[in-house]
Structure 1
Amino acid sequence: MSNEGKGKLLRIYLNETKQLGGKPLYEVIVEKAFEHGLAGSMVFRGIEGSGFCCEICRTSVPSLTISKCQPMVIEFIDTEEKIGKLVPILKKMVTAGAMVTMDAEVVHNVCEF
């Protein structure tokens, strides 16, 4: 992805209990995106959420105790072409959850190691 310009954001909602091949699904998804050359990814753990399992999932905030179904969000920003190629692959992997795409304007993108 270039440093600035038009891009696409892919956001995936799921819960932490989902697994694929004995690994957390969010890890498998991030690895798959890396294999396909996406510019980067970010995984967020939610405090509370509902809709992708049969109950409200929450973290006990004062003690930060993790619930049995922790809500998760994974985000990717890259070109429309790269996101478009990855979506059909991820649709087969995400059997409970949601995926959305949005137009994104990248205003700053610097990677330094």
Structure 2
Amino acid sequence: MRLTGRALRLTVLVGEGDMWHHRPLATEIVHRAHAAGLAGASVFRGLEGFGASSIVHTTRLLSMSQDLPVAVVIVDDEPRVRAFLPQLDELVSEGLVIIDEVEVIRYTGRTAAR
């Protein structure tokens, strides 16, 4: 797949403890993005954060470190990203889903090992 120029970055912010049918929600989002043929997805674990609940979760307090913020970031062209949004409607009941325009400068993968 070749991806350069204008694209969309889809970011899904959820809690580390959020689940989808006994599976971490971030994992489910990544696997669905893969199945949908999106260019790629990465999951980043936050050190501290709060959302609509106004509860601060941090790695500094053992009692609050159970539901740290997680960001799933997906970049692809606009039609593919927009086609994926209905799946997020099904999956994300609490969290934040944002889209911003980006410019892809370079997108390359590894060559397959023989």
Contact 1:4 1:105 in 2 (8 A): yes
Within 5 Å, give how 1:28-107 maps onto structure 2.
28-60=28-60, 67-107=65-105
Distance 1:49 1:2, change over 3 A: same
TM-score in terms of structure 2 length: 0.89
4+ runs of 1 displaced by more than 2 Å? none
Q: Which runs of 5+ in 2 are unaligned?
A: none
TM-score in terms of structure 1 length: 0.90
- Aligned-partner residue type, residue 80 of structure 1: E
The percentage of aligned residue pairs carrying the same residue is 29
Q: Which runs of 5+ in 1 are unaligned?
A: none
| Structure richer in helix, relative to its length | 2
- Please tell me the root mean square deviation across aligned C-alpha atoms, in Å: 2.0
1:32-55 alpha-carbon deviations (Å, 9 max, x no partner): 000000110110000100014451
Partner of 1:15: 15
Equivalent residues, number: 111
